[in-house]
Amino acid sequence: MEAKFQPESLMMTHGYKPELSEGAIKPPIFQTSTFTFKTAEEGKSFFEVAYGLREKEVDEKMGLIYSRINNPNLEILEDRLCLWDKAYQCAVFESGMSAISTVLLEFLKPGDLLLYSQPVYGGTEHFINYFLKSIGVMSLGFRPNQSEEEIIRMIEASGFASNLALIYIETPANPTNELIDIRLCKTVADHFSTDDKQVLLAVDNTFMGPIWSHPLEHGADLIVYSATKYIGGHSDLIAGAVLGNNEVMQRIKVLRTFLGNMASPNTCWLLLRSLETLKVRMEQQAHNAQEVARFLTNHPQVSSLYYLGTIDSNHPAYEVYQRQYTCAGAMIAFEIKGTEKEAFTFLNNLKLIKLAVSLGSTESLIQHPATMTHAGVAPELKKAIGITERLIRISIGVENHADLINDLSTAFDAVKKTNK
């Protein structure tokens, strides 16, 4: 019956039976560390499945044991998140970086090679180039404008092509909105896979998911989210999520159990609340972004605009945009004319738009990537990937778009007055 409905219609009911919770229309918060077993035999049976000592029987669900392993709020949330991306399984974490680092730790070991897109979120870049490097994991970065042939030659030239274990991409790129072709990356992964080893492809879909893009449909093995962003959507929680097929997700969930980095029942409950309005929020944010981008296009104080809706139809990225996305999203980056001084003057004169990192929330947020989210990126790499002192990133919220434009206009005027 439920299969007939769209995901947005199921965000209020899927995976929850009110009769099991005194008829409560919404799932209560199951704020408990442990769960009682009806019998010792039941406890034994639950642990056999939890620790992989036996396969689950047909239609058998994993029994509740301990909230580090499973919890009703966690299970309902994961079931509902699967609907958007048509994934087999989902694992929710206590933060986006927790989700990212768990994926990288599970599928990479000392001596392995990681191929990843640049730019990526600053925290991901730091984890790859500092922590993974310290434990002997090698990495190669590639740019969005590199062809399949160029990427393959680069991997082969490294001398470690046989060590390639994982391709990790973030598309659109944070903060420049550059696009990575998921299908191209899958072809590269297949090229270096063998009968004994599959090279996996993981996609950070935080900027566009789970409404505007579905990477599993384009060949990804894993989807990664900072659920703090659009999925949470209210700047009041920290969370992450990973989705994929049963085989890879079983490995992720086992490592999560032993790292103990799953989301708490309270965080899961807040995310369940957020999922009910996810589509309407993201649709409003996308509409507002379209209007703001229209204002910024050809603005005399803007030297460059990075927004998916303004990609030229003759640009190679346009075909990728049309194939991978259903919408231009709600993230905008632009370069203001001048230097860091002009950028900071602009940021300091906004009233409605909040100067803060993060994205995807109901309120519009703006920040300076070079000195904030990507402050830890090496200067030469910042220059190479286009993170300049003039670059500003905006996450568009659900406010009235005319008010947002007026706020931006006032800030531009302040820059003009300062430079007189």
- Catalytic annotation on 307? no
Separation of alpha carbons 101 and 385, rounded Å: 23
Structure tokens at 51: 């620790």
Angle, CA of 131, 366 and 210, to the nearest 5°? 70
- Catalytic annotation on 116? no
Which residue among 66, 68, 112, 337 is the active-site one? 68
What is the H or E stretch that residue 73 is in?
helix 72-85
Which residue among 80, 186, 229, 393 is the active-site one? 229
Alpha helices in 276-359 (DSSP H): 278-296, 316-324, 340-348
- Catalytic annotation on 68? yes
Cα distances (angstroms) measured from residue 402 to each of 142, 291, 301, 399, 407: 39, 8, 19, 9, 9
Which residue among 16, 116, 121, 325 is the active-site one? 121
**Do the Cβ atoms of 396 and 285 come closer than 8 Å?**
yes
Determine whether 59 is exposed, middle or buried from the number of CB atoms within 10 Å of its CB (0-12, 13-18, 19+): exposed
- Catalytic annotation on 251? no
Residue type, 413: D
Which residue among 85, 204, 221, 407 is the active-site one? 204
**Do the Cβ atoms of 168 and 146 come closer than 8 Å?**
no
Separation of alpha carbons 273 and 94, rounded Å: 17
- Cα torsion 245, 249, 251, 256 to 10°: value is 180
Catalytic machinery residues: 68, 121, 204, 229
